[in-house]
Amino acid sequence: MVDYIKYTSEMANDWSKTWYDTKFERPWAFKRLLDSSTSSQMQSKLWLTTELQKLNLYHKKVAIIGGWFAHYITPLLIDNLKVDLVHNYDIDEDARLISCEFNRRYKKGGKYKVYGKNVFIDPIEEHYDMIINTACEHMFPMKKIKELNPALDAILVLQSTSETKYDDHINCVSSAEELSEQANLKEIYFSGSKVLHNGMTRFMVIGK
Ligand SMILES: C[S@@+](CC[C@H](N)C(=O)[O-])C[C@H]1O[C@@H](n2cnc3c(N)ncnc32)[C@H](O)[C@@H]1O
């Protein structure tokens, strides 16, 4: 079981600088940064890492869709699951810049990169072994990405919620089965749900 992030001195350096810079240079993004750093956020990313570790799937090159600040998920993928390359596709410029600061050590080493492309409009041009979307409640159903990329062979790792009280939760689901149907998964390696510390139910499916 993966139940913590490896908080190295390099990480402490990147993270403390990012918190400081965001507070003073991008104060409008500070509340969102706090929201992205809750215990529930950590729980959902540790859960994902734990299940991926159990499955022992091949995942050297990974894309994250809507990775947001990607400060929890990136070290878990690189340090725990030994992923070689993480690409975060996020349409929000603040998120991209802040995520690059959090992950500066990986970016410098060529392991982390961000893209502003909206992958629900344009095809993904690179090959990935795995595509992670832990923000499915914010987007169109994932089958749209399969339609835009007919040759896509990546393992999909998806999370969503049934919590409809937020305006930007435009695509909630009521079960893991519904989440898997939204992605038209033919092979399912994991399917489950978890009630997080914030009281919301999170669903996760892993499959193709
Ligand atoms: C609120 S955050 C993620 C919350 C989610 N609970 C999680 O832990 O991953 C949603 C992110 O998705 C991004 N986003 C929304 N629509 C997108 C799209 N079409 N393509 C890429 N990113 C998108 C937003 O910019 C934001 O950074």
Test site for ligand 1: of 31, 43, 90, most ligand atoms within 8 A of the Cβ? 90
Calpha distance 191→175 (Å, rounded)? 10
Residue 94 lies in a domain: yes
Residue 4 lies in a domain: no
Q: How many domains does the chain have?
A: 1
Those residues with Cβ within 8 angstroms of residue 90's Cβ, 6 or more apart along the chain or in another chain = 65, 66, 67, 68, 96, 99, 114, 115, 116
Q: How far, in Å, is the centroid of ligand 1 from the Cα of 17? A: 23
Residue 2 lies in a domain: no
- What are the tens digits of pLDDT across the range 10-69? 999 999 999 999 999 999 999 999 999 999 999 999 999 999 999 998 889 999 999 999
Q: Give the model's pLDDT for residue 107.
A: 98
Range of the domain at 112: 9-207
- Extract the runs of DSSP E, i.e. beta strands, from 17-134: 61-65, 85-89, 112-115, 130-133
Mean pLDDT across 197-202 = 97
Q: Give the model's pLDDT for residue 173.
A: 97
From residue 172, alpha-carbon distances to 83, 153, 187, 202 in Å are 29, 25, 22, 10
Is pTM, for the whole model, over 0.95? yes
Domain CATH code at residue 178: 3.40.50.150
Q: Residues lining ligand 1, judged by CB closer than 6 Å?
A: 41, 44, 65-66, 68, 89-92, 95, 118-120, 134-135, 138-139
Residue 1 lies in a domain: no
Residue 153 lies in a domain: yes
Q: Are 152 and 124 in contact (CB under 8 A)?
A: yes
Residue 102 lies in a domain: yes
Residue 79 lies in a domain: yes
